[in-house]
Amino acid sequence: MRVTVTGSSGLIGSALVQSLREDGHAVVRLIRREPSRPDEARWSPADGCVEAAALDGADAVVHLAGAGIGDRPWTKAYKRKIRDSRLDGTRTIAEAIAAAGGRPPVLVCGSAIGYYGDTGGDEVDEKDPAGRGFLAGLVRDWEAAAAPAREAGVRVVHPRTGVILAREGGMLGRTLPLFRLGLGGRLGDGGQWTSWISLADQIAALRFLIDHEIAGPVNLTAPNPVTNETYTRALGRALHRPTRLAVPEFALRAALRGFAGEGPLISQRVLPRRLEEAGFRFAHEDVDAALADVL
């Protein structure tokens, strides 16, 4: 199988590329700089350009590129960068796929559970409507930007990813040094729900979506979301460290600006209904087992 991947240097993209190659699949990495290796091809979302040879004859395209959601405080400029990087990139890929001679049959186009907004303690799945807020609006437009590929008859699937559990990055990777020192603790009151997935299950699910006839939104979250307090205690047990501290809500809002209210303080209890109904089996359903394995 030949798979073209954008965002291949990110947490998810690099793990996906490694997984595919270990199983003998050919991977073409779309990059913005001039290619220097045979497995690289150039694209420019700002200019709407993709090297045609990277898509012609591909068995699948996995589009994961986009500015980091929680990498910086949400200034107006950075929110614009988050939005533009996703909409421009998705539109560019979708239009290039639609115009390709040997059109790829499937586009796995990254998305996020930010679509649902703050769900409080209510469980939600793919049948539920979009919520409110910057991320909910972004995800609606992000998924809509893939329309050119859908209209060309390509199967388009949107993996709505939750909080990734990985040592290499994401929420766990960024906070792990503090927790190892015994300085970790819950965020705010800790009552907000966290919909998580291990990196191993994330990669397995993406490959499952490539291989199975599923289209539209699919939640990539473990079946058992937990509150932030439960997650914090589980991480402390995995590291054998105390987790008695707490980061006040006001401090998070001051440091992260708008991201705090749609990131660490938001409550999202999202279930992977479509993934389970399609027959996917999670390696990590319990947060304690997941953290023990990841660490």
In whole angstroms, what is the distance from residue 103 CA to residue 210 CA? 15
Whether the pLDDT of residue 21 is over 90: the answer is yes
In whole angstroms, what is the distance from residue 107 CA to residue 210 CA? 8
Instruction: State the chain's mean pLDDT as an integer.
Output: 94
Whether the pLDDT of residue 260 is over 80: the answer is no
Question: 101: pLDDT confidence band, cut at 50, 70 and 90?
Answer: confident
Q: What is the pLDDT of residues 47-57, one digit of tens each?
A: 999 998 899 88
What letter does residue 54 receive in the DSSP assignment?
G
Whether the pLDDT of residue 171 is over 80: the answer is yes
Whether the pLDDT of residue 258 is over 80: the answer is no
In whole angstroms, what is the distance from residue 266 CA to residue 286 CA? 21
Architecture of domain 2-294: 3-Layer(aba) Sandwich (3.40)
Q: Show the tokens assigned to 74.
A: 């949400």
| Confidence (pLDDT) at 156 | 98
In whole angstroms, what is the distance from residue 20 CA to residue 224 CA? 27
**Sequence-separated (6 or more) residues with CB below 8 Å from residue 184:** 175, 178, 232, 235, 236, 241, 243, 245
Q: Which of 132-136, 159-163, 207-211, 244-248 has the lowest mean pLDDT?
A: 244-248
Question: 253: pLDDT confidence band, cut at 50, 70 and 90?
Answer: confident
Judged by DSSP in three states, 127 sits in coil
CA-to-CA dists, residue 255 to 75, 173, 249, angstroms: 11, 19, 10
The closest of 168, 180, 174, 163 to 287, measured between CA atoms, is 163
| Confidence (pLDDT) at 255 | 65
Q: What is the pLDDT of residues 201-246, one digit of tens each?
A: 999 999 999 999 999 999 999 999 999 999 999 999 999 999 998 8
Contact 4, 61 (CB under 8 A): yes
In whole angstroms, what is the distance from residue 36 CA to residue 40 CA? 7
| Confidence (pLDDT) at 222 | 98
Contact 12, 64 (CB under 8 A): yes
What CA dihedral angle connects 118, 119, 120 and 123, to 10 degrees? -160
Q: Show the tokens assigned to 280.
A: 């996917």
Whether the pLDDT of residue 256 is over 80: the answer is no
Q: What percent of the chain has pLDDT over 90?
A: 85
What letter does residue 192 receive in the DSSP assignment?
S
Whether the pLDDT of residue 118 is over 90: the answer is yes
In whole angstroms, what is the distance from residue 9 CA to residue 29 CA? 9
Whether the pLDDT of residue 8 is over 90: the answer is yes
What letter does residue 33 receive in the DSSP assignment?
S
Contact 56, 96 (CB under 8 A): no
Q: What is the pLDDT of residues 56-89, one digit of tens each?
A: 889 999 999 999 998 788 899 999 999 999 999 9
* Segment holding 197, helix H or strand E: strand 196-198
Whether the pLDDT of residue 113 is over 80: the answer is yes
58 burial class (0-12, 13-18, 19+ CB within 10 angstroms)? buried
Contact 48, 95 (CB under 8 A): yes
CA quadruple 51, 203, 113, 170: dihedral sign: negative
Question: 265: pLDDT confidence band, cut at 50, 70 and 90?
Answer: confident
Mean pLDDT confidence for 10-20: 97
In this structure, the number of other CB atoms found within 10 A of the CB of residue 250 comes to: 10
